[in-house]
Amino acid sequence: MSAFNPHTPHENNEDQAERIPTPEEMLARLNQIDSKAFDIRAIANNLKGNKVWISILTLPVSATLLAVFTLLGAFLFDSPVISFLITAALLFWVGKLFDNQQKIYTVAARQEVMQRIAEIEKGFGFLPHFKAFLPEKYRHLWQSVRKGNYLYIEQYVQAILLLQKKLDAEKFTAIWYLTYPEIDPNSSEYIVQTDNSAVNLELQGVNTD
């Protein structure tokens, strides 16, 4: 998996001309987002593949081995304490190896989730456009996302779920058209923009009929 820099804005940033989506398109995108796509644990387990059973069995197997070797030390060498300490140290070392492996998968899973968020936020952007409907505690989140920083995965998921459950679609549509009157069919700015486009095409010798 290629490395992903969470602090680097996407290629299609705000400085580039982007088509302004309709409020219906934004709402549809919001409702289509599946929060399960950001489940770091599930993605990490998926990356492990068949190795997931090793992690599941690590604790019970370790406990069993510790008990067995302690008993063997008691019967064979009449020294259960020493055999217990040696076995515990060995199992601790093996456990650290498994723990480090688990961290590698977790980091890779977080990278994958950040790439998925970047895909959602590319171009015109997404979450920052809902900032008026998010509580104050999410200010740092949407400001970071707008800058191309996708580290705050848990907060991002919380914000998406909150919007999916609580967003007033009518208020959002009204604010969207106030913010972008040029795409509002009922706005005079929309009509002027359309008329100007037609005039420009006619001046270029293009038939607009």
For position 197, what pLDDT does the model report?
43
Chain centroid to Cα 24, Å, comes to 23
pLDDT class of 186 with cuts at 50, 70, 90 = confident
Averaged pLDDT for residues 188-206: 45
Residue by residue, DSSP assigns 114-177 as HHHHHHHHSTT-SGGGGGGGS-GGGHHHHHHHHTT----HHHHHHHHHHHHHH--HHHHHHHHH
Average pLDDT over all residues of the chain: 77
For position 45, what pLDDT does the model report?
85
Averaged pLDDT for residues 85-93: 67
Query: Residue 29 is encoded by which pair of tokens?
Result: 């995108």
pLDDT class of 59 with cuts at 50, 70, 90 = low
Chain centroid to Cα 7, Å, comes to 14
Per residue in 124-177, pLDDT (tens digit) is: 999 999 999 999 999 999 999 999 999 999 999 999 999 999 999 999 999 999
